[in-house]
Amino acid sequence: MKERTISGTLFDIGNFLFMLFILLLMVFPFIYIISYSLSSPNMLKGGLVLFPAGFTFDSYAKALGDSAVLKGALVSIARALIGPAVMLFFTSMGAYVLTRSDLVGVKFFRKYFVFTLYISSGIIPMYLLMGYLQLKGTFLIYILPGAVSVFSMVLIKTYIEGLPKELEEAAVVDGANDFKLFFQVIFPICTPVFAAVVLFECVNQWNAFIDTQIYNTMSPNLYPLQYVLYNTLNQINSLEQLRDQGQKQMSAITPQTFKMAITVITVLPIACVYPFLQKYFIKGLLVGSIKG
Amino acid sequence: MITKIVRQRYLYAMLIPAVLIVFTFSYVPLFGWLIAFVHYQPGYPLFSSEWVGLQQFKAFFTETNDYMYLLRNTLSINIGALIANLGTAFLFALLLNEIRQRFFGKLIQTVTFFPFFISWIIIYSLSSALFATSSGAINETLVQWGWIDEGINVLGDPTYSWAFIILIGVWKFLGYNSVIFISAIASIPSEFYEAAQIDGANRFQRMWHITIPNLIPTLIVLLILNSGWILNSNFEQFYLFTNTTNWEKMEVLDIYIYRYGLQLLNYPYATAVGIMKTVISLIIIVSVNAIAKKSTGKAIF
């Protein structure tokens, strides 16, 4: 397919430049905040910061020394570890059972789960329910409502249905019961789809913020990093307070560089798992969109 | 049948926890819809409260004109976003496919997919860093260069609200939305291109007569299926970007429900608005799905 024409070459150049522009559009905000957060505030002249002015880690030292940030990071890490584990346990068991067409009532159960994708009670009934269940102000409120993800269930079910039936049949001949069948035969070979849903849930948990805003504003100990960042963005006041506490190097840090540093810290873990996300999630996405 | 159920007890044991969790967090709150129909008093049992019927539902349409700006905002932003998201993803996939340097193509795809995974708070933080009126990088630069006299308030001025919120969405979802188009292009049989080349079609003719027509069905299916969600907004996005100066153009149904329910504590009214939104959405989704099934043979359920 190699032919060279002038219009083709011009198009190639134009297209290349256009893609370069897209690349810049995507990357620039990150370059800007990283450079800004590494700058020393009195060196900053405003405008586009592409390289750190007066390179310093002060803002990061300050951010990592802040107890709210540290606590927030712990809460976020706990969410990102416990949430996906609990979700995978309940969801994968359910997904496997839904693949068993011999189960009495399986059609009903399939509809029972999928229905919830299309109808939601809305924010108020949910809020009242959490009150009745006494989950407000607890860590469990981050985990329990998402303990079954129907979206992941559909992905896992689709994946299991694509596995060769002989595997199950052989195990049944060997006398395995349904528990063993799932946990010893099916579970170990579902790694690719599990990786996809677990990573996705990790990111969701890490990024979540609105549940804290709705249910846990009264419990600062349960603020995840995202919420700490949100507060930092909104409450310059509290930063001014910190400044007044009299530590000397603090005057060298403006709320701006501090904000940027927390933003970078919050986004960094996503960047670290991103290669895996790309590898597993995009694959899962395509499986889901084609068959799901 | 009983013996069969007994024999399948392990299967039920694995299914029941998921059934109960979903029942608790997805089905039980549906009973909460009762609030909208009764004279609600906190702490008083719902079932024995006085029945007031559709009073709250009527209030939304008769006592205020709020529904006018809410529907205008919700529909304009969501339809605009739907078209902008799919249109840009379509074009992007088409052009990316023409990039001959494979490494560069992969790099672009990798980089554009990244924003899909970052939270709205991060995007909010980036937006204020770049677009804040006086301290935002872009405004500062434009003022320094003398292009404008003072910063443009894209975050607060309602004039820019719709364009801004739609473009932010395009930025975040471009990579995600284009994946499906990229895979659709990859599934076009290479014989089509080879045959066209033998017939003397040049590159642009091949794009125009093969790639684009083969992508159109995907585009239409996505357009139809996604239009079912036209009343639903991404809550976090709007929660963060709606403020006291731009609400008139920015406030959507979901935010209105939140504001009336959890800030003004008018539970019955907020629930009623929520019920209408959900029911109308469901009707749209079901009919849109039926249309998609009939016209293209593809459907979500």
Comparison of pLDDT for A287 and B242, the residue scoring more: B242
CB B276 within 8 A of CB B60: yes
Considering chain B, what percentage of its residues have pLDDT values greater than 90?
Answer: 56
Q: What is the pLDDT of residue A252?
A: 47
Give, rounded to a whole angstrom, the gap between the first and last alpha carbons of chain B: 29
Query: Nearest CA to CA, how far is B137 from chain A (Å)?
Result: 5
Q: Give me the mean pLDDT over the B6-21 stretch.
A: 94
- Inter-chain CB proximity A48 and B141 less than 8 Å: yes
Considering chain A, what percentage of its residues have pLDDT values greater than 70?
Answer: 89
DSSP chain B: -HHHHHHTHHHHHHHHHHHHHHIIIIIHHHHGGGGGGB---TTS-GGGSPB-TTHHHHHHHHT-SHHHHHHHHHHHHHHHHHHHHHHHHHHHHHHHHT---HHHHHHHHHHHHGGGGS-HHHHHHHHHHHH-TTT-HHHHHHHHTTS-SS---TTT-HHHHHHHHHHHHHHHHHHHHHHHHHHHHHTS-HHHHHHHHHTT--HHHHIIIIIHHHHHHHHHHHHHHHGGGTT---HHHHHHH--TTTHHHH--HHHHHHIIIIIS--HHHHHHHHHHHHHHHHHHHHHHHHHHHHHHS----
Task: Summarize pLDDT for B137-157 with one digit per residue, the tens.
Answer: 888 888 888 888 888 888 889
pLDDT band for position A249 (cuts 50, 70, 90):
very low
Residues of A (31-60) whose Cβ lies below 8 Å from B: 32-33, 36, 46-49
Considering chain B, what percentage of its residues have pLDDT values greater than 70?
Answer: 98
Residue B103: pLDDT over 60: yes
Q: Give me the mean pLDDT over the B182-192 stretch.
A: 90
DSSP-based three-state secondary structure for A161: helix
Residue A292: pLDDT over 50: no
Residue B20: pLDDT over 50: yes
- Residue among B125, B235, B270 whose CB faces A259 most closely: B125
Q: What is the pLDDT of residue A32?
A: 93
pLDDT band for position B301 (cuts 50, 70, 90):
low
Residue B42: pLDDT over 90: no
Q: What is the pLDDT of residue A30?
A: 95
pLDDT band for position A170 (cuts 50, 70, 90):
confident
Comparison of pLDDT for A204 and A256, the residue scoring more: A204
Q: Give me the mean pLDDT over the B120-132 stretch.
A: 92
Residue A241: pLDDT over 70: no
Task: Summarize pLDDT for A80-133 with one digit per residue, the tens.
Answer: 999 999 999 999 999 999 999 999 999 999 999 999 988 888 899 999 999 999
Q: Write the CB contacts of B228 (distance below 8 Å, at least 6 apart in sequence).
A: B281, B284, B285, B288, B289
- Residue among B98, B118, B278 whose CB faces A267 most closely: B118
| DSSP designation for A66 | -
Q: Give me the mean pLDDT over the B36-59 stretch.
A: 84
Q: Give me the mean pLDDT over the A2-25 stretch.
A: 89
Residue B134: pLDDT over 90: no
Q: What is the pLDDT of residue A285?
A: 64
- Inter-chain CB proximity B140 and A47 less than 8 Å: yes
Q: Give me the mean pLDDT over the A242-248 stretch.
A: 48
- Residue among A27, A96, A214 whose CB faces B111 most closely: A27
Q: What is the pLDDT of residue B140?
A: 86
What does the domain layout of chain A look like in residue ranges? Answer: 1-56, 58-292
pLDDT band for position B228 (cuts 50, 70, 90):
confident
d(Cα B154, Cα B131) in Å, to the nearest integer?
A: 7
Amino acid type, B230: I
> Position of tokens 């800030």?
B263
- Residue among B29, B138, B271 whose CB faces A129 most closely: B29
Residue B289: pLDDT over 70: yes
CB A203 within 8 A of CB A270: yes
Nearest CA to B78 among B216, B281, B289, B294?
A: B281
CB A288 within 8 A of CB A155: yes
Q: What is the ipTM of this complex?
A: 0.88
Residue A221: pLDDT over 90: yes
Residue A219: pLDDT over 90: yes
Q: How many CA atoms lie within 13 A of A217 on its CB side?
A: 6
CB B86 within 8 A of CB B178: no
* CATH code for the part of the protein at B59-296: 1.10.3720.10
Q: What is the pLDDT of residue A2?
A: 54
Q: What is the pLDDT of residue A240?
A: 42
Q: What is the pLDDT of residue A247?
A: 47
CB B14 within 8 A of CB A153: no
To 5 degrees, how large is the angle CA A266–CA A202–CA A70? 35
Q: Which residues of B touch A118 (CB under 8 A)?
A: 282, 285
Asked if CATH classification 1.10.3720.10 holds for the domain at A58-292, the reply, yes or no, is yes
Q: Write the CB contacts of A177 (distance below 8 Å, at least 6 apart in sequence).
A: B10
Task: Summarize pLDDT for A123-167 with one digit per residue, the tens.
Answer: 999 999 999 999 999 999 999 999 999 999 999 999 999 998 888
- Inter-chain CB proximity B203 and A5 less than 8 Å: yes
